[in-house]
Amino acid sequence: MEWSLDEYEKLVIRMNTPRVVIDNAVCPAATVVKVDSARKDGVLLEAIQALMDLNLSIRKAYMSSDGRWFMDVFHVTDRFGRKLDGRVIPYIEECLGAGPASRSDTMEGVTVLELSGTDRPGLLSEIFAVLADLQCGVSDATVWTHNGRIASLIFITNEEDSGFPVAADSRRLQRIEARLRNVLKGENDIRGARTAVSSSLALGIHPDRRLHQMMFEDRDYERMPSGDESWSPPSVSVQNWVERGYSEVNVQCRDRPKLLFDVVCTLTDMEYVVFHGRIDTDGDRAHQEFHIRHKDGSPISSGAEKQRVIQCLQAAIERRASSGLRLELCTVDCQGLLADVTRTFRENGLSVTRAEVSTKAEMANNVFYVTDAAGRPVDHKAIDAVRERIGMRILTVSEEPQPRLCQKRSDNEEASGIGLFSWGSIVKRNLFNLGLIRSCS
């Protein structure tokens, strides 16, 4: 039988589209999501990214991608630690099966700026003040700081009456970039400031992944001396399994949302392939193990490379760690709102360590993590002063919802020896993949 090109392409698409199975019955404390497909570069990261974008927490996971196929099994809950509602399961299946989401439909009329440089108290306030002065509205923004560096993606719109996006006026865009570059350099620039109009998001790179890439390019993983004697980095170790041709990476740290994405994203961008992995959470602690190789099939080859992997993973974990007090701003959006709010923070001695800005239906929903200028916990008197000035109902102190913990297995189940981490038994592993045994109860 002869097939037309269109029919052949459709067959290839069907063969390479991930198969998604969601089971809400096999585990009493979580929903089991199984994804299998032909193996390709980045397919594991795409699956984790899809779950992350749905604000789901991955409590346990098993990953395997030897040969030409991969299978990933995730035990997920919503952000409150509950099993998933049956009504959202078809939507999850669609998101996982569709591959990486495109932002092209949401970027019309929006210009994306990438900013990186040396962090300092009040820097974010100066950035938003420049944008307000140049009549640029901010529809969305994400700001990360780590190890004395800052990286930000800022989505700007045109508040002038021209009706054209900012990127359509090359001279104006150059003026915006030049002003922001001067602000980022400041008086004590260490490595140089960078401003650019992002093309990565138009190519389908996830914003959080791009922020990791920007920090990595800025070498934020190079450790600076810390004045906090109580500080200790996340536990990351690397060892080689010569007989199997893998390098084993172990991560142990405090659990938090999007932790797995941050680790796998960094390994992927460092051009390692995860062939096997297992994830578990115990209380508020996360335990992650990955068997990795280079794309050419070789394991990590030197002590220097091991150390670099350790440093980069520690940095990836720390970048999104919630440093500081969490403040939520919810109000009607208006021109100069972010400039006014961050200026108030600066005038009261607050420094923003992380920020997430979002505007929907003319409502601003923004989250800021703040410390004092020295990076210490803030004085509640300063917070009260800021809230009184901005508005007690508009600016609130909040905490991120903590997921409820999976209940421990009963003694009988422990005695049976059946679990996710029975790596020595191929039979047990296959039974788990088929959903015939439980790993979280």
Strand partners, 113: 154, 197
pLDDT of residue 415: 34
In this structure, the answer to whether residues 207 and 125 fall within a common structural domain is yes
Domain-embedded: residue 34: yes
| Residue 321: half-sphere exposure toward Cβ, Cα within 13 Å | 16
Among 344, 310, 314, 312, which residue's Cα sits nearest to residue 327?
Answer: 344
Confidence at residue 130, expressed as pLDDT on a 0 to 100 scale: 96
Given a cut of 50, whether residue 41 has pLDDT beyond it is yes
- Say what the pLDDT of residue 85 is: 84
The whole-number pLDDT of residue 261 equals 97
Picking from 140-149, 164-173, 428-437, which range would have the lowest pLDDT averaged per residue? 428-437
pLDDT higher for 431 or 226?
226
Residue 239 lies in a domain: no
Q: Are residues 214 and 326 in the same domain?
A: yes
In a domain, 231, yes or no: no
**Based on the structure, what is the number of domains in the chain?**
2
Tokens in use for 372? 């004092």
Q: What is the pLDDT of residues 286-304, one digit of tens each?
A: 999 999 999 888 999 899 9
Q: Which amino acid is at 7?
A: E
Whether residues 122 and 201 fall in one domain: yes
> Is residue 251 assigned to a domain?
no
Same domain assignment for residues 334 and 422: no
From CA 199, how far away is CA 178, in angstroms rounded?
Answer: 18
Task: Evaluate if residue 161 carries a pLDDT over 70.
Answer: no
Residue 236 lies in a domain: no
pTM comes to 0.84
**Residue 74's closest CA among 87, 86, 84, 88?**
84
Residue pair 63/292 in contact by the 8 Å Cβ criterion: no
Q: How far apart are the first and last CA of the chain?
A: 51
**What average pLDDT does the chain have?**
83
Residue range 346-361: mean pLDDT, rounded: 94
DSSP 365-378: EEEEEEEETTSSPP
> Domain check: are 7 and 145 in the same one?
no
CB 117 within 8 A of CB 185: yes
pLDDT at 215 over 60: yes
- Kindly state whether residues 35 and 177 are assigned to the same domain: no
pLDDT digits over 49-101, tens only? 999 998 999 999 999 986 678 889 999 999 888 998 877 888 888 887 665 55
Asked, for residue 250, whether it belongs to a domain, the answer is no
Rounded Cα distance, 298 and 326, in Å = 43
**Judgement on whether residues 182 and 206 belong to the same structural domain of the protein:** yes
The answer, yes or no, to whether residue 245 has pLDDT greater than 70, is yes
Residues contacting residue 387 through CB under 8 Å, at least 6 positions apart: 395, 396, 397
Say if residue 341 is in the same domain as residue 204.
yes
Confidence class for position 375, pLDDT limits 50, 70, 90: confident
pLDDT band for position 158 (50/70/90)?
confident
Same domain, 25 and 81: yes
pLDDT digits (tens, 9 = 90+) for 91-136: 888 887 665 554 444 567 789 999 999 999 999 999 999 999 999 9
User: Domain residues for 80?
Assistant: 1-56+76-101+408-441
- Write down the pLDDT at residue 361: 85
CATH number of the domain where residue 192 is located: 3.30.70.260
Burial class (CB in 10 A: 0-12, 13-18, 19+), 399: exposed
Is 50 exceeded by the pLDDT of residue 345?
Answer: yes
Question: Does residue 408 have a pLDDT over 80?
Answer: no
Looking at residue 189, its pLDDT comes to 65
Beta strand 246-254 with 325-332 is unpaired
> Is there a domain that residue 256 lies in?
no
Residue 183 phi, psi dihedral angles, 5° rounding: -65, -45
Helix (H, G, I), strand (E, B) or coil at 210: helix
Looking at the structure, tell me whether residues 92 and 119 fall in a common domain: no
Position 242 in a domain: no
Confidence at residue 224, expressed as pLDDT on a 0 to 100 scale: 67
Among 16-30, 159-173, 350-364, name the one with the lowest average pLDDT: 159-173
Is the model's pLDDT at 407 over the cut of 70? no
Q: Are residues 33 and 97 in the same domain?
A: yes
Residues 142 and 3 in one domain: no
